[in-house]
Amino acid sequence: MKIAVLTSGGDSAGMNAVVRAVVRGGILKGCQVWVVREGYEGLVRGNTEAPEPEPAPPAFPDLPPETDGDINLIHNLRFGDGQLLRDGTGDYISGRTLKGRYIVRVGWDDVRGWFSEGGTLIGSARSKAFRTPEGRLAAAYNLIKEGIDALVVCGGDGSLTGADIFRAEWPNLVAKLLSESIITKEQATAHTHLKIVGLVGSIDNDMSMTDLTIGAVTALHRICEAIDNINSTAASHSRAFVLEVMGRHCGWLALLAGVSGGADFIFIPERPPDTESWEDEMCECIQRHREVGKRKTIVIVAEGALDKFLNPIKADYVKDVLTERLGLDTRVTTLGHTQRGGRPCAFDRILPTIQGVEAVQALMEATPDTPSYMIGIQENKITRVPLVDAVAMTRSVADAIEAKEFDKAMSLRDPEFRE
Ligand code: F6P
């Protein structure tokens, strides 16, 4: 089997571990593996330069690491300045230039040490071209041209929705390429079916049918650390801090950061304040905390937080309320992309490694009759769920929030949810 792996959408810690696991898991199972640079954009652009040489043979298990001198040299050069694939003179994987090549065959050593690196070393993009039928046709052609018959996509709900559309369209795309004589009959016959598996890489933890997305726990650690730092300065000056955290339309990061950092008040999209005047409720609560001796106040606002009428609740407005009503010396801290970047925590190395191996296994077992799977984790077990169902259920959560059906939204995300 010939597998390609790509990362798409907003990066998240652990995406490199996914690529490493798919590359190495695939090679161990006798597959050939490619990486697609720059997400779906790379799939659409494909390769305009001549085919590259074969990747170096694996150093492991044939060669123990101590004896692979040349490979280590490349490894050290490549990792020396921390730039990995981009060193200012061009893009490299194990010394091979990648100019004009977006779909690159990789070997065992190309991904050495990747599991501890932040972001995504093969690049990511939110591709406009892939959202068009022409873009997806080009993407299909580029895969067929390389002989690739299986695709692993690691990204958030938008990226996996894209994967689902691509999978559903595949037979039509192949038929069109054949009818326009862009591919041969032999190529069409060999690519009647594209095997796809999705892995959820997102700091937001907003995908249904999985308990955790890759990168969410690392982002939570970052926020938690930031709260610890803010706590000491806040207590020193007896100040209030309003922290805006990421999560798009999902309040998971905000909620759990609040629990782990001891916040006084939390705003999340899924549970807007019941009262029309949440300002009163918040002020009463914080006043009580101050009266029992708290010298600091922490309010967390999810970036997608909403009030009862579905109007956004903004950190600056919360600050004004605390300042004007309670007389608190208040600051706003927007954590921004510090939440997303940086090295993955241990869990965000373990989860993608196990899920990456499972993704390869799912591709090996796939037949034209089996659905495309999303690899998840539920109740501490790695799961395969139909990608189409996970995408649909995630959409239903967003729809329920828009329709103000908050309990429905919560129970769609978590079937154990009780009001
Ligand atoms: O989906 C991940 C995420 O970091 C969200 O939490 C945030 O809303 C968004 O991406 C920010 O996107 P951008 O990469 O465009 O800054």
Q: What is the pLDDT of residues 26-56, one digit of tens each?
A: 999 999 999 999 999 999 999 887 655 555 5
ipTM for the complex?
Answer: 0.96
Query: Which residues touch 293 (CB under 8 Å, ≥6 apart)?
Result: none
Residue-wise pLDDT tens digits, 245-295: 999 999 999 999 999 999 999 999 999 998 889 999 999 999 999 999 999
Q: How far is the CA of 261 from the centre of ligand 1 (A)?
A: 22
127 annotated as a binding-site residue: yes
Mark 6-41 as b/e (b = at least 16 C-beta within 10 Å). Answer: bbbbbbbbbbbbbbbbbbbbbbeeebbbbbbbbbbb
Q: How far is the CA of 81 from the centre of ligand 1 (A)?
A: 27
Centroid of chain to Cα 386 = 18
Report the chain's mean pLDDT, rounded to a whole number: 88
Which residue has its alpha carbon closest to ligand 1 atom 9? 248
The reported pLDDT for the residue numbered 97 is 65
Residue 105 confidence (pLDDT) above 70: yes
Q: How far is the CA of 271 from the centre of ligand 1 (A)?
A: 21
Alpha-carbon span 318 to 326, nearest angstrom:
11
CB 203 less than 6 A from any atom of ligand 1: yes
E strand or H helix at 139, and its extent? Answer: helix 133-146
CB 176 within 8 A of CB 136: no
Residue-wise pLDDT tens digits, 303-354: 999 998 889 999 999 999 999 999 999 999 999 999 999 999 999 999 999 9
337 annotated as a binding-site residue: yes
The reported pLDDT for the residue numbered 64 is 38
Q: How far is the CA of 232 from the centre of ligand 1 (A)?
A: 28
CB 148 within 8 A of CB 375: no
Report the relative pairing of strands 103-106 and 96-97 from DSSP bridges. unpaired
State mean pLDDT over 89-110: 72
The reported pLDDT for the residue numbered 77 is 35
In which band, very low, low, confident or very high, does the pLDDT at 110 lie, cut at 50, 70 and 90?
confident
In which band, very low, low, confident or very high, does the pLDDT at 153 lie, cut at 50, 70 and 90?
very high
Higher pLDDT, 60 or 235: 235
Which residue has its alpha carbon closest to ligand 1 atom 13? 10
Query: Catalytic residue positions?
Result: 204
Closest to 18 measured CA to CA, from 4, 1, 2? 4
Q: How far is the CA of 369 from the centre of ligand 1 (A)?
A: 35
In which band, very low, low, confident or very high, does the pLDDT at 417 lie, cut at 50, 70 and 90?
low
Higher pLDDT, 69 or 380: 380
Instruction: Name the least confident of 278-292, 321-335, 356-370, 397-411.
Output: 397-411
In which band, very low, low, confident or very high, does the pLDDT at 415 lie, cut at 50, 70 and 90?
low
The amino acid at 259: V
CB 155 less than 6 A from any atom of ligand 1: no
Residue 357 confidence (pLDDT) above 60: yes
SS3 content of the chain, % helix, strand, coil (to 5): 45, 15, 35
The reported pLDDT for the residue numbered 368 is 86
CB 18 less than 6 A from any atom of ligand 1: no
CB 358 within 8 A of CB 371: no
CB 202 less than 6 A from any atom of ligand 1: yes
Atom of ligand 1 nearest to the CA of 339: 4
Alpha-carbon span 154 to 16, nearest angstrom:
10
Q: What is the best residue among 11, 248, 303 to mutate for testing ligand 1's pocket, by most ligand atoms within 8 Å of CB? A: 248
Which residue has its alpha carbon closest to ligand 1 atom 8? 248
203 annotated as a binding-site residue: yes
